[in-house]
Amino acid sequence: MSHSALSTSFCSALNEYTSVVKKLACGVLELIAAGLRIQPENIFSKLLMDVESDSVLRLNHYPPCSSGHGFNGSMTGFGEHTDPQIISVLRSNNTSGFQISLRDGSWVSVPPDQDSFFFNVGDSFQVLTNGRFQSVRHRVLANGLKSRISMIYFGGPPSKQRLAPLQLLMGEGEQSLYREFTWFEYKKSAYNSRLADNRLGRFQRQQLIA
């Protein structure tokens, strides 16, 4: 097979995979909407299905880091952070390294499973649900023996989409935790900050203290 044909085949496979994973993410968002008892059920998923949706598929490769290179079991492959988008769908080969942070600040490893998809709530979804769903702080540690390969679909809204807590979810007397902003505004702010920063901090409202 020629280089051109191989490239075309690879691009076709990636496009097909991205399309399928996007539908999977939308299905999960619609199940969440149903669980929250809000209508329409595509209130979240339509942001991903929009033709101007700012979504992307990223492939990561973490080569093995042997003891000969000073590996001590805790070398960082990708530093701690939350995803700015609405939802992320992760799939990887059967190699450990992915960790999430619990509420007490401790880190736990997510057992690798090459046959499963993992879903991360992003900052934008935290805003839309007024904190009912919180973005997942996570990181990747280098593996001492095997290469880790991961594919992540980041489902983001259109650049001009305005993000704020949905009034449909707000209970009586409930205050919005975040000021309204566009996805473009938040994305620009997020990528100009440090990876581990609390990126939503500058968009939070100052709540009145009784």
- Sign, CA dihedral 128-19-99-74, equals negative
Catalytic residue positions? 148
pTM of the model: 0.89
The answer to the question of residue 208 being in a domain is no
Interval 71-86 mean pLDDT: 82
Q: Is residue 210 part of a domain?
A: no
The pair of three-digit structure tokens given for residue 26, joined into one six-digit string? 């939308």
Within a domain: residue 100?
yes
Which residues have a Cβ under 8 Å from the Cβ of 41 and sit 6 or more positions away?
30, 33, 34
Q: Which structural domain range is residue 72 located in?
A: 3-203
In a domain, 209, yes or no: no
Q: How far is the C-alpha of 44 from the C-alpha of 30, rounded, in Å?
A: 7
Give the residue from 137, 136, 62 showing the smallest Cα distance to 95.
62
Is there a contact between 44 and 25 (Cβ–Cβ < 8 Å)? no
Rounded mean pLDDT of the chain?
A: 90
Calpha distance 103→126 (Å, rounded): 15
Which pLDDT band holds residue 210 (cuts at 50, 70, 90)? very low
> CATH number, domain at 92?
2.60.120.330
To the nearest whole percent, how much of the chain has pLDDT over 90?
77
- Residue 108: inside a domain, yes or no? yes
* Domains: count for the chain: 1
